[in-house]
Amino acid sequence: MSQNLLTANHLLTAVNQTLNQPCSKLSENQKLKAGIDLGTSSIVLVVLDESNEPIVCLSEEAEVIKDGLIVNFSETVQIVRRLKQQAEAWLERPLLSAAGAIPPQTFGNNKKAVGHVIEAAEIEATQIFDEPEAAAAVLRVANGAVIDIGGGTTGISIFEKGRPVYSADEPTGGHHMSLVLAGSYQVDLAQSETIKRDPAGQAQNFQILRPVVEKMATITHRFLMEYGKPVESLYLVGGATMFPQFEKVFETITGVETFKPVHPRYVTPTGIAMLSQLF
């Protein structure tokens, strides 16, 4: 395991430990920065200090995003506003600004919508990043590809010398995995989401979900072929990649060495906060 991945794992472990927990009292002049990740299954707010140490991590389950697009603007704003209010209560100061992120290949009004949600929650939206770009900040990817398995999409960003040189995005993500489990177990979608996240059933569930994961890996392989140059390594992020067998499937289908950090669900929101402006 590389030193960069070890460092990322240390940070993500600290973020996970702050999840929905009150923070210690801040010094009066302590600078902060925040990131908001509008996910298909949850919305996450991460607040870091200027040294990228986690201060607050808040998450609320939600069904307001589909395939990376906001389908219920009003409810999305309400959730972000609730997270903001809780963060401010713990921080004992206003949450003045935050950055957001979008899947690759999101343009026009769909891209602007993320900023509009943040602004509607009475937070200044300072920047909107590509989700894999935010993830790469946490993983310190100089040469390689970040594969972001979101709730609705499989996204890729390829980096050379720390700069993104190729990105693509295609439907098929964690939501599709939940649909498959719902059909297999004859339960509703909410129950299938609970089943999917149960560590005790991971081995059995992955056998049911393997064809979906293989499709994600095949999508990634096609993106790599379209890019047309060798890629050193792949880094998997997103809550759907929680299954330990994920990396092996991707390595087998793509032929590229594949890594996954701990707590992959929090890579992107942490990266958004890292790249955000201080307030």
Domains of the chain: 3-135+266-275 (3.30.420.40), 140-265 (3.30.420.40)
The rounded distance, in Å, linking the Cα atoms of 128 and 35 is 10
The encoded tokens of residue 105 equal 């290949």
Stretch 237-248: mean pLDDT: 94
Residue with tokens 């997103």: 238
Stretch 95-101: mean pLDDT: 96
pLDDT in tens, 214-229: 999 999 999 999 999 9
pLDDT in tens, 263-272: 999 999 999 9
| DSSP reduced 3-state for 196 | helix
Name the maximum alpha-carbon separation found in the chain: 54
The pLDDT, as a whole number, for residue 1 is 64
Query: Do the Cβ atoms of 57 and 15 come closer than 8 Å?
Result: yes
The pLDDT, as a whole number, for residue 86 is 98
Identify which of 99, 135, 94 has the alpha carbon closest to the alpha carbon of residue 115: 99
The rounded distance, in Å, linking the Cα atoms of 82 and 24 is 20
The rounded distance, in Å, linking the Cα atoms of 40 and 161 is 31
- Cα torsion at 9, 13, 16, 17 (round to 10°)? -170
- Radius of gyration of the chain measured on its C-alpha atoms: 18
| DSSP reduced 3-state for 28 | coil
The rounded distance, in Å, linking the Cα atoms of 144 and 52 is 23
Does pLDDT of 233 surpass 90?
Answer: yes
| DSSP reduced 3-state for 35 | strand
Describe the crossing of helices 267-275 and 131-139 by its angle, rounded to 10 degrees. Answer: 90
| DSSP reduced 3-state for 47 | strand
